């Protein structure tokens, strides 16, 4: 076995510390008292990407469709999202954030941003941009390796060379053999919230 690149050793250690620090920040702040992390990310995904099916949400967030379905049900019960039949295919349900859901998401987003501003207040603006760029790049690498695009999207991506937002059937309406929303490698993702 050859010795790993020293830079990769630093990255491995720092990502382990980063995970611990995320948990520490979560426990030491009240940012997620209004919405838990899973609810926030789901609402943020809908805010950024527009209405989606549960399968699309699952694929986008790296969740099992049943986990995404439970999260959507909880948000629906809280009045933070709505489900409606897809006009293009009445067998599908499209999830849309409500005005209250978007308002709650914005409150949490603003509080998270303020928390980061306090923590990183002495950083140079260029360093902040670099960190944002590197985190985005890292997250895209994880998504490219471990997230599966729903079957209907694979053909679109292959023909256009782009990554388009998926619009596939919900898990209950999709044959089990297609396993939409499953990770391509490793165990199925589950929510920690």
Would the pLDDT of 187 be above 60? no
How many structural domains does the chain have?
Answer: 1
Q: Does residue 14 form part of some domain?
A: no
Q: Does residue 100 form part of some domain?
A: yes
Provide the domain limits for residue 63: 26-178
Residue 76: alpha-carbon gap to chain centroid: 18
Lowest-pLDDT range, 85-89, 91-95, 151-155, 170-174?
170-174
Would the pLDDT of 176 be above 80? no
Mean pLDDT calculated for residue range 82-110? 92
Distance from C-alpha of 38 to C-alpha of 193, rounded to nearest angstrom: 6
Tell me what percent of the residues of the chain surpass a pLDDT of 90.
Answer: 53
Looking at residue 50, which CATH number applies to its domain? 1.10.10.10
Q: Which residue has the tokens 């619009």?
A: 167
Summarize pLDDT for 48-93 with one digit per residue, the tens. Answer: 999 999 889 999 999 998 999 999 999 999 999 999 988 888 888 8
Task: Give ∠ CA 117-123-40 in degrees, rounded to 5.
Answer: 30
Task: Give ∠ CA 168-159-150 in degrees, rounded to 5.
Answer: 20
Q: Does residue 6 form part of some domain?
A: no
Summarize pLDDT for 23-53 with one digit per residue, the tens. Answer: 888 888 777 778 888 999 999 999 999 999 9
């Amino acid at each position: 076995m050859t010795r790993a690149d020293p830079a990769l050793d630093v990255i491995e250690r720092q990502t382990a510390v980063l995970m611990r620090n995320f948990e520490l920040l979560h426990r030491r702040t009240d940012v997620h008292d209004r919405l838990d992390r899973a609810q926030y990310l789901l609402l943020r995904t809908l805010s950024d990407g527009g209405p989606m099916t549960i399968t699309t949400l699952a694929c986008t967030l790296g969740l099992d469709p049943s986990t995404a379905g439970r999260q959507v049900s909880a948000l629906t019960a809280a009045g933070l999202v709505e489900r409606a039949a897809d006009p293009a295919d009445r067998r599908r349900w499209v999830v849309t954030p409500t005005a209250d859901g978007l308002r709650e998401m914005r409150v949490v987003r603003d509080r998270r941003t303020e928390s980061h501003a306090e923590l990183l207040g002495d950083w140079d603006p260029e360093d902040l941009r670099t960190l944002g760029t590197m985190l985005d790049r890292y997250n895209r690498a994880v998504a490219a390796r471990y997230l599966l695009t729903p079957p209907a999207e694979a053909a679109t991506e292959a023909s256009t060379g782009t990554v388009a937002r998926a619009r596939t059937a919900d898990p209950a309406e999709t044959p089990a053999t297609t396993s939409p929303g499953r990770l391509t490698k490793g165990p199925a993702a589950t929510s920690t919230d």
